[in-house]
Structure 1
């Protein structure tokens, strides 16, 4: 009787409010995401069930750790697409990168070898220990070269957390766009990143959202979130500033 009652009142999973994921780690074997092509294809299949029709995979580019190149990323994308084709998964998967702001990033700017999203949007991230040195100058260099910097998961950088969100507003005014992780709002990283993410959304300075999926456990967390009342709260909050996931990258 109890199981019947629970099934009657169990909340149904809602679809995502965007159809393009701009940040995830599903390409096989080149960073800390999918270990092989079949695993990556399984992740794509699950993500597609949320309403995603386009996924832009963003493997890490980090000096001395994940020194990915356009060639290594393209090869991994091909392996994933071949596995998807064999499994009959029609979702569009493209590639870009998540660039750590380090010495390798500086060299890539000079060499004009940044791996960007369509429209010269470039996904960047700080170290989790401290803000990148000269980040303001880096942002200016990027914008002067026609790039639009998007900071991945700013809510996870604890050195930015403050009562008045001062540094966030400074960076946003400088031209940095912000991309919040669904996993943060789902509480995957704890209460503080979730709280800061909610405050950034309320402040109207979140431009993009991403799944940041690396593995099946992340899919589990997002699926639980899509069935929760916290997801209802998010849908209400973003009405004030719709996200740009499905409009910013429609550039050939």
Structure 2
């Protein structure tokens, strides 16, 4: 069944290029759960291989893996994740370029990790990119403070799937300036553009796209089936927008 699904993917269309030949579609996926059997993402090496095949069919050449680090829920740590990542890279053998970061839940444990300089980040030139997740329904006192402290400590925080936070949707005039002042980049899920998380995140994601606010777009891939059902139509929306998607990650191509 998995292979049948992959056969239905179409190669990326020429509409993902601007008239001057500049590629608009993303080469790199930022924010996905391809690392097998470490969180609620892909469950086996077979699923990871199938997901990579699907991503390649959609035009992707590489991905930044962001497994959860969420104490009490996904008790991962950087050293453990690096070990699993090294094993995965050996299995993939260069057929798809991979980098490792993490998706941190914004709580007090992240302050301790900063003090210990034990943060799993994406090295992007001189920047150290750290993906942070907020609670979906209600804000926490640590949330914005985590972003501020990461920025002050020399990291570049990225707020994961900002369009899915209900309180940000409802109070955009308060939250968007607050997030800007924190120094964080915004990341949105591509599937949100196609309704993966419902009409409110979809409308908010499209509004953020219209304002060119998200610095990064990711598949947030957990299951192979997401690619055809949500990521492919979401990429079509991005292609029509005319924005150069994930241009900041082009430094990873070297």
The interval holding the TM-score normalised by the smaller chain is 0.7 to 0.9
> Corresponding residue for 1:244?
247
Say whether residues 1:105 and 2:110 are aligned partners: yes
Say whether residues 1:161 and 2:164 are aligned partners: no
| Residues 246 and 191 of structure 1: CA distance in aligned 2, closer, same or farther (over 3 Å) | same
Say whether residues 1:59 and 2:62 are aligned partners: no
Alpha-carbon deviations, 1:4-23, whole Å to 9, x = none? Answer: xxxxxxx9853671101110
**Which consecutive unaligned segments of at least 5 residues does structure 2 have?**
1-9, 17-23
Please report how far the alpha carbon of residue 245 of structure 1 lies from its aligned counterpart in structure 2 after TM superposition: 4.4
Please report how far the alpha carbon of residue 31 of structure 1 lies from its aligned counterpart in structure 2 after TM superposition: 0.4
- 5 Å-filtered alignment, 1:67-78, equals 67-78=75-86
Say whether residues 1:195 and 2:203 are aligned partners: yes
Alpha-carbon separation, structure 1, partners of 2:171 and 2:107: 28
> Corresponding residue for 1:116?
121
Say whether residues 1:176 and 2:179 are aligned partners: no
> Corresponding residue for 2:153?
145
| Residues 243 and 82 of structure 1: CA distance in aligned 2, closer, same or farther (over 3 Å) | closer
Alpha-carbon separation, structure 2, partners of 1:251 and 1:225: 25
| Residues 135 and 75 of structure 1: CA distance in aligned 2, closer, same or farther (over 3 Å) | same
Alpha-carbon separation, structure 1, partners of 2:159 and 2:150: 13
8 Å CA contact retained: 1:63, 1:103: no
Say whether residues 1:50 and 2:58 are aligned partners: yes
Give the SS at the match of 2:140: coil
When normalised by structure 2's length, the TM-score is 0.82
8 Å CA contact retained: 1:150, 1:176: yes
RMSD: 2.4
Alpha-carbon separation, structure 2, partners of 1:212 and 1:43: 12
8 Å CA contact retained: 2:12, 2:57: no
> Corresponding residue for 2:21?
none
Alpha-carbon separation, structure 1, partners of 2:112 and 2:171: 36
Alpha-carbon separation, structure 2, partners of 1:200 and 1:132: 23
Give the SS at the match of 1:33: coil
Alpha-carbon separation, structure 1, partners of 2:90 and 2:68: 22
**1:21 aligns with one of 29, 33, 40:** 29
**Which consecutive unaligned segments of at least 5 residues does structure 1 have?**
1-10
> Corresponding residue for 1:91?
96
Give the SS at the match of 2:73: coil
Structure index of larger Rg: 1
8 Å CA contact retained: 2:99, 2:122: no
